[in-house]
Amino acid sequence: MSEREHVIIARTSFSATDALCFAASLTGDIEAKVESDIIYPYYCFDATCSVPTMVGRKKVSLLCLVDAINGLGATADNFELKSEAVDTKSLLRGDMGDTDAREIAHRTVTHHLGRKLRTITTFDVSLQARGLVHKRFWIVQTSEARVMVDSTTGGFHPLKLRAA
Amino acid sequence: MSGTVIFFLVLYYVIVLGIGYWAMRRGAGDDLEGYLLGGRDVGPMTTALTLQSTSMSGYMFLGAGGLGFAQGYWAMWFAVGDIGGGVLNLSIIGRRMRKLSQMMGALTSIEYLEKRYPSAAVRLFAGVLTVFLLGFYVLAQFIAGGKGMALVTGIPYPAALAIAVGIILIYTFMGGYLAVAYTDFFQSIVMLVGVMWIVIAALSELGGLTAANNAISNVDPTLLSMWGRDLGFQGQWGVVAGALLIFSVGYMGWPHVVTRHMAMQRPATARRAGLWATLWNLFFVPAPYLVGILAILILPGLDDPEMAIFRVAEKLLPAAVTGLVMAAIMAAIMSTADSLLLQTGSIASRDLYERFIQPNASERQMVLVSRGLVLAIAIIGYLVALVEPPSVFSIVIFATSVLGSAFLPAYVCAVWWKKANTPGALTSMVTGAAVAFAWEYTGYVESTQIAPMLAGVISSTTTMVVVSLLTQKIAPVPADILEIMDEAAAIGPIPKRLLATSDPTLAAEAAAVQAAIDSGAR
């Protein structure tokens, strides 16, 4: 019997059935099936920043996720969180510390703002940690490929068909 | 310039500012956050036109016209390369670089080079060379902006140059929502319509293209040939190849252009945007060269060939249209200068200062370094542009030749060749830059009839291949990079339509999930 563990996880917007239909429509494979789910860890930060606009500086809030396995940062749309008991076999674990994650988040947000707003200025970024949060990815097996579907955004990425 | 031209020029900016102000009042914070998060789906057409309007620099409006005026249809070799350059760039390194840089966690194109070819020397050399050459390229924008401003307002060149440089600096330091969200698309449409209007007006004035060509033939028949005035480039295929390469593959060596791949949308969107960009290029790119050629007849006594487009517009277009078109052209030049300065500042602060001088630099220190460098470039650029301004054409060709020669093999092999290693990349960059530079300034072009770009790319590519192969044993490509390259290449039986619509931002998660599945560790 598999063990379960309580984690903070993003509320699912795309169910296993949605992921299945999505992958089936992409590949045309009506026999596609959901193989499993993966619970992926991120450090989550609420970033409050001051950005220049035509009508003076404005405070904006952004969400920044830092991949706890690869250490990559990205800004993200806000999502709802909940506590859920998940199968430990589905749970991936990262070895990154929260101090490193905070540094990456700060760097990610300042770079992102500079690039998007095309300006050289300070943004006075302040980060509020939400701690470790998780996202569920559905793994759908089709005859042509294995597809990983993000349960919060519906984005997907192909995986190899079989294990190497 | 008439008061009407200036009135409509001012009106253009008032409209643009009004759009920005209205958008800010209407959308408040939500709209801004949506933009910052990339939540706004602008679609492939808007993406393409925005990209085009911000990449069409002073070269297109001064250099291209000047070349057409000086060399006739020979100038079209440059246009041919430019038309397909964007799509070629996207096809060869676009998608793979997007994934590779994402998975390596690289934020700038120079950082990406260091992560792919692990060595501080790679970053140091690439960073210094890029800052130096982008500084040159910005100089071309200053000169273009100053000349345009002088013509439009009628004030003396030194004052016009100071105003242009000042506006570009304010644009760069203030930036903000206005500069990016609503104006680029509008600007690209005005530019396209305006330039096409100039072409049509010029052709109408001359009785059509055939009549114009006949008239040019009477002036100098060699201007109709593909070999330049007085057949100066006849049989010089090495120079022709250089002209074709400079804006086709040359783009792949531009750090500030390849950076765009790192923020690319989904491959399918990018591909459709590429098609729109090519369509836009098909109409837009040959137009400035053609206007320059037609100016031979319209303005036979033109003292500064690089002013051909501005002068033809001034002579043939209604004053109101001239004002609007010139405003859009000036805005495009400033927008390009702003992008270049931001890239230069970012490379100086992040890739050089933070990496090599002050690893724990605060955000404020980084901004100071960026702004300091931008200010230094502005002052030096102003003085150079004032004392002895080189032609916009020669600056752009020089900077593109050296950058393309130095970085083309490094960026292309980074995603396509698993044996490309650090010694290969470093020697390739040094050799490419040195050869292109030497070719430009030692008269080898005349003696060998080979363009600096061609000589540089051949030497850097050969160096990359030979040195990488010779040093495989002492400097193998690290295993983790090879794994990431495999993932970026999406090795495995994955249908192309899946790759085209997949989300590249999930590449790193996919690699981790794949590893977990493969190891059965989950």
Residue A17 lies in a domain: yes
Tokens 């950076």 — which residue?
B259
Please choose, from the candidates B465, B425, B414, B460, the residue with its C-alpha nearest in 3D space to the C-alpha of residue B439: B460
Supply the pTM of this predicted model. 0.83
Reply yes or no on whether the pLDDT at B472 is more than 70.
yes
B37, with CB counted inside 10 A (0-12, 13-18, 19+), is: middle
Average the pLDDT over B95-112 and give the result.
83
pLDDT of residue B410: 95
Phi-psi region of A34 (alpha: psi -120 to 50; beta: other; left: phi over 0): beta
Average the pLDDT over B70-78 and give the result.
94
pLDDT of residue B265: 65
Cross-chain CB nearest to A120 (options B345, B501, B512)? B345
SS3 state of residue A3: coil
Tokens standing for residue A139? 């793994």
Q: How far is B509 from chain A (nearest CA, A)?
A: 8
Q: Is A2 on the interface with B (CB under 8 A)?
A: no
Indicate the DSSP class of residue A85: E
- Write down the ipTM of this complex: 0.86
Reply yes or no on whether the pLDDT at B98 is more than 90.
no
Phi-psi region of B207 (alpha: psi -120 to 50; beta: other; left: phi over 0): left
pLDDT of residue B408: 93
Cross-chain CB nearest to B503 (options A70, A115, A157)? A157
Residue A121 lies in a domain: yes
SS3 state of residue A86: strand
Reply yes or no on whether the pLDDT at B41 is more than 60.
no
Residue B260's closest chain A neighbor by CA? A115
Reply yes or no on whether the pLDDT at B493 is more than 80.
no
SS3 state of residue B248: coil
- What residue type is assigned to position B103 of the chain? M
Please choose, from the candidates A38, A27, A31, the residue with its C-alpha nearest in 3D space to the C-alpha of residue B493: A27
Domain total in chain A: 1
Cα–Cα distance measured from residue A96 to residue B143, given in angstroms and rounded to the nearest whole number: 49
Beta strand A81-87 pairing with A126-141: unpaired
Residue A94's closest chain B neighbor by CA? B512
Q: What confidence tier does B215 reach under pLDDT thresholds 50, 70, 90?
A: very high
Q: What confidence tier does A50 reach under pLDDT thresholds 50, 70, 90?
A: confident
Tokens standing for residue B462? 């050969």
pLDDT of residue B108: 83
Residues in chain A with CB shorter than 8 Å from the CB of B480 are none
> Which of A100, A103, A113, A157 has the highest number of chain B CBs within 10 A, making it the mutation to test binding with B?
A157
Question: Which of A113-122, A155-164, B166-175, B471-480 has the lowest average pLDDT?
Answer: A155-164
CB pairs under 8 A between A and B: 187
Q: Is B395 on the interface with A (CB under 8 A)?
A: no
Tens-digit pLDDT profile for residues A135-156: 999 999 887 778 899 998 888 8
Cα–Cα distance measured from residue A158 to residue B205, given in angstroms and rounded to the nearest whole number: 57
Residue A128 lies in a domain: yes
Average the pLDDT over B461-486 and give the result.
93
Average the pLDDT over B439-462 and give the result.
89
How many other C-beta atoms can be found within 10 angstroms of the C-beta atom of residue B235?
10
Per the model's pLDDT, the better-predicted residue between B418 and B332 turns out to be: B418
Q: Is B379 on the interface with A (CB under 8 A)?
A: no
Please choose, from the candidates B133, B119, B122, B164, the residue with its C-alpha nearest in 3D space to the C-alpha of residue B344: B133
Q: How far is A87 from chain B (nearest CA, A)?
A: 10
Indicate the DSSP class of residue B27: H
Q: In angstroms, what CA-CA distances link B156 with B138, B161, B184?
A: 21, 9, 29
Cα–Cα distance measured from residue B420 to residue B409, given in angstroms and rounded to the nearest whole number: 9
SS3 state of residue A150: strand
Q: What confidence tier does B29 reach under pLDDT thresholds 50, 70, 90?
A: very low
Q: In angstroms, what CA-CA distances link B260 with A24, B56, B87, B166, B438?
A: 32, 15, 13, 27, 30
Tens-digit pLDDT profile for residues A5-14: 899 999 888 8
Interchain proximity A38–B173, CB inside 8 Å: no
Residues in chain B with CB shorter than 8 Å from the CB of A70 are 103, 105, 508-509, 511-512
Reply yes or no on whether the pLDDT at B38 is more than 70.
no
pLDDT of residue B127: 94
Residues in chain B with CB shorter than 8 Å from the CB of A52 are 174-176
Average the pLDDT over B3-18 and give the result.
74
Question: Which of A6-20, A50-64, B182-196 has the lowest average pLDDT?
Answer: B182-196
Residue A164's closest chain B neighbor by CA? B518
How many other C-beta atoms can be found within 10 angstroms of the C-beta atom of residue A145?
23
Handedness of CA B145, B148, B153, B155 (dihedral sign): positive
Q: What confidence tier does B2 reach under pLDDT thresholds 50, 70, 90?
A: low
Residues in chain B with CB shorter than 8 Å from the CB of A139 are 513, 517
Average pLDDT, chain B: 83
| Domain spans of chain B, in order of start | 3-489
Interchain proximity A118–B338, CB inside 8 Å: yes
Tokens standing for residue B56? 């069409």
Residue A110 lies in a domain: yes
Cross-chain CB nearest to B516 (options A92, A110, A157)? A92
CB-CB contact of A151 with A139 (8 Å): no
- Residue B208's Cβ-side half-sphere holds a number of Cα atoms within 13 Å equal to 2
Residue A164 lies in a domain: no
Cα–Cα distance measured from residue B265 to residue B90, given in angstroms and rounded to the nearest whole number: 12
Question: Domain B3-489 falls in which CATH fold?
Answer: Sodium/glucose cotransporter (1.20.1730)
Residue A71 lies in a domain: yes
